[in-house]
Structure 1
């Protein structure tokens, strides 16, 4: 697939213009900034302090191996929360009205082993534009050949069981990101269909930041901890498995549940709807009324609001979600939401099972025709 996609709004539906105007009116009438407030800064301090504190407790070498393993797992969870609550908003430019502050906070991404420059391209530019479109949105290519999340993907017999092994593979996402994903994407010619040409400084940033990460989380523990090297490895893997499961589930529950679409371009390489309507059809909320989910997940449980208004800090999503939902219903557009995390998880499981069953049936059909 090499064509550049366009969104063709045949019906000229003014949904997004209306929703955007109403959200602008809300902020104007309330007299509040679209960026971080004191609660948002409090969250940032909490998660950063928690992450650094847990790391220091491990490095101080004052606990037995079982406690160290528990701390390592907790460190991975906090790493995911830092990505959700600080880096994600900062890289979108929504955390602060100051580009310098956003840039500074986006560099926290290096601290959890990821590259903010590449994330900006793959997530902000590609995923947010071509959501759930196979061959364009690389975020739905979780494990090509192993997990099928689109009707447009190739099939194999193993995918029949993907609902059983997919969650284990989500746990590997963070490890793959730290050791492979950033390097692979950096040296690709394209991410999706977005051509790459990197500034020279990004080569230095990539390799220096990775080296420092490997030193802080692998070399230094091996040097200072009074445990065997394999115990350090177990702790490192446990940290990333925890981080990977949290990251993987949050993303999948926002885009791969019952009701979400995986659009296929027409013969001209276009998507026959407006971009904003495409976001509503490919994105879902989960546990939208949960204050715990909102606090921990950086507003990503309200993914619809995030995809439509990525320049608005997630701390404001609860306030604007009612506006977005009412406007969507007014224009007879879907507003997909699971009431709880558990309901979304079950919906994702059923979706995995459906795609896996379809893959098996398609392969059986092809085999029968060949015979």
Structure 2
């Protein structure tokens, strides 16, 4: 039986109250909207245009097989960037104050292979509440039995090699989403502690929108491209391997690096700290001063800011990050960050080795 989790002293978190007060003052005193600004809209146009252009170039059938392969890889990476920069904010209700705009951009998530309704449950509700809690946060269940990232998970001898095979497994994240994950999560009786009783329209949306994706990315290429079936399979897999690796790495570097914790509730289901402090101990930033990362990753290299303020557009994370970091220091609360992308990758590999070495005993 799943234990109902509770965070201790949630209403008494002085850190969260102070942080919220200061961030609210930043937006109010500067007369700044929490939602997308002109720079954010420019980003949305750039990424959506790149997505459409790459898809059109592939279907135009104008290039040799090697150029087509490269275009498929670029489309996979661009699909991940569309998800990071546009759909993620929209599903959180952070892109626009107009919920119709958020709903429109949320729908685009279907075109990168994922169901926005299922994501809103697994990510918005479950992951953001029970971050890094084994058995409750299903987002950290990468490949149960194969990847071990906390002391609470069972050990098997294969895991001693997980720092070698983890990255190829990350490549499967996107293709799993397209054919398996959304259906599995949708028909589970519970996701974490959230009971999955869905509106009837979401049953239709799941299958209809998956059908649209299969039509656009499987049927249309097979009809319009002058390629063999095996060439199509290679291109389709290349697209999703690149997309999956991009998505998988960004998530892992935010939650499975040195310094992050994987708290286990006590026998009554209590977590020792308040929710905000829990987020600070289970989440990490990386490459926060890298303009390249900030532009392409949709603020997901600043997961601390995102977890504390998920309804604020990521275009503002750099500015509110200074407030959060200062407040955390004042309250003696960790603000975990890796200065560079390479540093975060090394830290992640060390975590994989650490939990994998226990399988050698």
Name the TM tier (shorter chain): over 0.9
Q: What are the Cα deviations for residues 8-31 of structure 1, in whole angstroms up to 9, with x where unaligned?
A: 128944000000000000011111
Q: What are the Cα deviations for residues 138-179 of structure 1, in whole angstroms up to 9, with x where unaligned?
A: 000000000001111111000011001000100000011100
Give the superposed CA RMSD: 1.0
TM-score (norm 2): 0.99
CA gap 1:11/1:354 in 2 versus in 1, 3 angstroms: farther
Where does residue 333 of structure 1 map in the other structure?
333
1:360 offset after TM fit, Å? 3.0
Instruction: Measure the CA separation in 2 of the matches of 1:222 and 1:196.
Output: 36
Query: Unaligned stretches of 5+ in structure 2?
Result: none
Q: What are the Cα deviations for residues 23-64 of structure 1, in whole angstroms up to 9, with x where unaligned?
A: 000011111100000000000010000000000000000000
Where does residue 262 of structure 1 map in the other structure?
262
Instruction: Measure the CA separation in 2 of the matches of 1:70 and 1:242.
Output: 11
Instruction: Measure the CA separation in 1 of the matches of 2:279 and 2:65.
Output: 46
Where does residue 295 of structure 1 map in the other structure?
295
Contact 2:159 2:356 in 1 (8 A): yes
Task: List aligned pairs for 1:196-345, cutoff 5 A.
Answer: 196-345=196-345
Contact 1:128 1:307 in 2 (8 A): yes
1:96 offset after TM fit, Å? 0.2
Where does residue 354 of structure 1 map in the other structure?
354
Where does residue 57 of structure 1 map in the other structure?
57
Contact 1:257 1:351 in 2 (8 A): yes
Instruction: Measure the CA separation in 2 of the matches of 1:251 and 1:4.
Output: 25
Q: What are the Cα deviations for residues 278-320 of structure 1, in whole angstroms up to 9, with x where unaligned?
A: 0000000000011110100000000000000001000000110
Contact 1:10 1:272 in 2 (8 A): no
Task: List aligned pairs for 1:28-39, cutoff 5 A.
Answer: 28-39=28-39
Instruction: Measure the CA separation in 2 of the matches of 1:9 and 1:263.
Output: 16
CA gap 1:148/1:37 in 2 versus in 1, 3 angstroms: same
* Structure 1 residue 5 corresponds to structure 2 residue 21: no
Where does residue 112 of structure 2 map in the other structure?
112
Instruction: Measure the CA separation in 2 of the matches of 1:22 and 1:181.
Output: 39
TM-score (norm 1): 0.96
Secondary structure of residue in 1 paired with 2:79 = helix
Contact 2:13 2:276 in 1 (8 A): no
Where does residue 368 of structure 1 map in the other structure?
none
Instruction: Measure the CA separation in 2 of the matches of 1:160 and 1:359.
Output: 5
Instruction: Measure the CA separation in 1 of the matches of 2:11 and 2:85.
Output: 37
Where does residue 86 of structure 1 map in the other structure?
86
Contact 2:35 2:313 in 1 (8 A): yes
CA gap 1:131/1:219 in 2 versus in 1, 3 angstroms: same
Q: What are the Cα deviations for residues 103-159 of structure 1, in whole angstroms up to 9, with x where unaligned?
A: 111000011111000000000000000000011000000000000011111110000
Instruction: Measure the CA separation in 1 of the matches of 2:290 and 2:30.
Output: 23
Secondary structure of residue in 2 paired with 1:114 = coil
Secondary structure of residue in 2 paired with 1:241 = helix
Instruction: Measure the CA separation in 2 of the matches of 1:58 and 1:162.
Output: 35
Instruction: Measure the CA separation in 1 of the matches of 2:299 and 2:141.
Output: 23
Tell me the number of residue pairs that the alignment of Structure 1 and Structure 2 aligns: 361
Contact 1:253 1:286 in 2 (8 A): yes
Instruction: Measure the CA separation in 1 of the matches of 2:167 and 2:202.
Output: 33
Instruction: Measure the CA separation in 1 of the matches of 2:357 and 2:308.
Output: 33
Contact 2:300 2:306 in 1 (8 A): yes
Contact 1:155 1:360 in 2 (8 A): no
Stretches of 4+ moved more than 3 A in 1? 10-13
